[in-house]
Amino acid sequence: MTTILPPARPLRLGTRASPLAMAQARLAAQALCAAHGWAPDRVEIVPVTASGDKVLDRPLAEIGGKALWTKELDHWLHDGTIDASVHSMKDVETIRPESLVIAAMLPRADVRDTLVGATSIDALPHGGVVGTSSPRRAAQMRRLRPDISITLFRGNVATRLGKLEAGEADATLLATAGLERLGQTAVGTPVPLSVMLPAPAQGAIGIETMRDNQAVRALVAAIDDAATSDCVHAERAVLAGLGGTCHSPIAALAVLENGRILIRAEILSPDGTEHIADRRHIEPKDEPAARALGCELLAAASPALRALFTP
């Protein structure tokens, strides 16, 4: 079935209701209006409180994984409440419903992590505490600083900064892109990519539609940044090759170099003692080659590390 967008109403963009998600939805709305010459009221932002925003005292992997960020928006897409949904791509499950499609990605922002509470990882006090809910960040920190302990920090950016201010940890790690989108560029110090590789798709905003809604897909496709899409899809293909979950410490970054994609990826044990990394050049849209990289990382891992990626 193909749904034609009625000209009499705005295009409805669904989003999580957090301040960062709303800021990202506004970026998508602005891009759509600029691409199509629309007045601002031609796009309506429709927020929802996602399940993942309601339970903050347990790791995401224990309460349903990344689907908790998307399931309400998926339901609204299917029942026609919204025309498209706006996502942080790093929070979108690797395997999505066949009925949906990522129709566009905005130009990617800074992919790095920002350390808040210390000027560098080396500057953290011996035996210090770092607050994070990310298995990747926790494993990377333990690999770099085995003396560090990890405490659970979940919630939006303001909540995590509030926990830090309250003394619940010495430092925390946040996505640099998120801080920039919230106008908090003075907070913390970005960690060099040579020190910490980011989560797959970090810094990317995706807009998802119904696959068979050709009218909306065409409207949204007009704002797609091809370089971002190619690189993020390559990173997500590595995830597919790994079969990773929210329990699995995975980092990956793809960048365009002279028309080809350089992709780097790593997997770690939760305590950071085992670390398998590789890189290669692939052609844009060669997702099988990116998926193969994930499979080869697993093949090089110990049985204990490989078990983390077994469904």
pLDDT for the residue 107: 98
- Other CB atoms within a 10 A radius of the CB of residue 187 amount to 16
Q: Which of 53, 74, 83, 91 is catalytic?
A: 91
**What is the C-alpha to C-alpha distance for residues 116 and 119, in angstroms, rounded to an integer?**
8
> Any catalytic annotation for residue 271?
no
pLDDT for the residue 59: 47
pTM of the model: 0.90
Distances (CA, A) of 193 to 158, 182, 190: 25, 22, 9
Pairing mode, strands 205-210 and 100-105: antiparallel
Domains in the chain with CATH codes: 11-108+203-224 (3.40.190.10), 113-190 (3.40.190.10), 236-307 (3.30.160.40)
Per-10-residue mean pLDDT for the chain, 311 residues long?
57 93 96 95 88 48 56 91 95 91 98 96 96 94 97 88 94 96 91 97 97 96 98 96 79 96 97 96 96 96 88 61
